[in-house]
Amino acid sequence: MIIRLFITIAILMGAFCTLSLGLGAETAITGKIIMLKGTVTSNKRPAGLQKGDVVQEGETITTGASSLVKIEFSNSSTIFVGPDSSMQLDKLEKGKANVISLLKGQLQSHYAKGENTDYKAVVKTKTAALGVRGTHFLMAYNPENKVSSAVTFSGHVSFMKTPDRWNDLCAQNPGKCGDLMVKALDNNTLAKVINEGQLSQAFANKKTATLPTQINRVQFFSLLANSPLQEESQDGKTKLASGKVENDGTGPKPGGMLDLKTALYVEPSGQAIQDPKTGHYLPLGDIGQVDMKSGEYKAPPGWELKPSGQFEAVAPDKSGAAGATRAADPNRLALVRTGDAATDRAADAVGAKPPLGRVLPTEGAMPGCTPGLPCIPKAPGEDLINNGGLGTILLPRARIKIIVE
């Protein structure tokens, strides 16, 4: 009798365990690598990941220099991790907001809009949290200066500065971290809504994220045109309002560029020209440019932007080109905020100084250019369009359709 009782209990326990495992498998979300370039590793597979590998909750994905990976998840979301970046999959469960930590570098993600308005995911760093319902966005984080930056390509996201104690709470209760973030994003009046074409930043020494502002449109469209997630996002079509950007003086100036490596926003100085139609600012000197092949920010020739927010002169290369073509000191022409009060005040003071002169195009100098405003020369294979008085946007042909309302 006793033996039969033990056998019955053993069978019931086995059945319960099997049922539990089955339910866990049904609620778990997994990802499959559909594109990989260079060296990509996981904490569970340090030898390296390959195209077709499956990743799951608890893994930390790290990319090397000039490396990238695109992951498609079973909940129809897609994440692209850029070069020299690290992402941790904290919580992947159906029916709940997924929790993903960006430890360093950059990532892009696309979540399709669902029938409800619940958050589908929370992407967090040491200084910020971003809530996703259905959108295509980019997030960058630099662990050296602890600056978090977010840009929205389609839809909108909620973005907020997170208190330091939240990192401890999430470490102690990882299962409840997502719920904590979702409640805060919903109820926190300090959370910012980032719409298409806008950027917001969170600094370690500031209590709130910056007011959303529109980034340089050339960079916006270049990043989108070269995004591995463009097809999932808008099927090649982008809609961007052209109304004037309001700025009360407390937020970053619209029209600047985001440096993905440092997560810093390079904005024109106080002496820059403001376009009355759009509210964007145009620098009166070289503060860098956009790489049309990638959409990334490039510092002026002979200079490098450091995580500290300062431009430093770089040594000439073997040909001596860097030294020979070094541009004027961009520290006099650009504002780069890091959240450090003393550094940002100094940047404001430098930016208030009269900038070096620059020759602006005259009327009729180039088709499509706005008289009196800086204009980018047309290159072979690129379309020249007037950006509502902002200057000139160059886009590779047949790459993206622009609808301006």
What are the structural domain ranges in the chain? 27-210, 237-404
Cα(100)–Cα(87) distance, integer angstroms: 7
Residue 127 φ/ψ, nearest 5 degrees: -125, -5
The residues facing 60 across adjacent strands are 88
Q: How far apart are CA 278 and CA 343, in angstroms?
A: 29
Q: Taking a C-beta distance cutoff of 8 angstroms, is the pair 87, 79 a contact?
A: yes
Plot region of 20 (φ>0 → left; ψ -120 to 50 → alpha; else → beta):
alpha
Contact (CB, 8 A) for 152 and 133? no
**What CATH architecture does domain 27-210 belong to?**
Sandwich (2.60)
Print pLDDT tens along the chain (405 aa): 554 544 444 444 444 444 444 444 557 888 999 999 999 999 999 999 999 999 999 999 999 998 999 999 988 889 999 999 999 998 888 878 888 999 999 999 988 776 556 788 889 999 999 998 888 999 999 999 999 999 999 888 999 999 888 887 887 777 777 777 888 887 777 889 999 999 999 999 898 999 999 999 889 999 988 887 665 444 444 444 444 445 545 678 899 999 999 999 999 876 788 887 778 888 778 899 999 888 999 999 999 999 999 999 987 554 444 445 788 899 988 999 998 765 565 555 544 444 433 334 333 334 444 444 444 444 433 333 333 333 333 333 333 333 333
d(Cα 209, Cα 288) in Å, to the nearest integer? 25
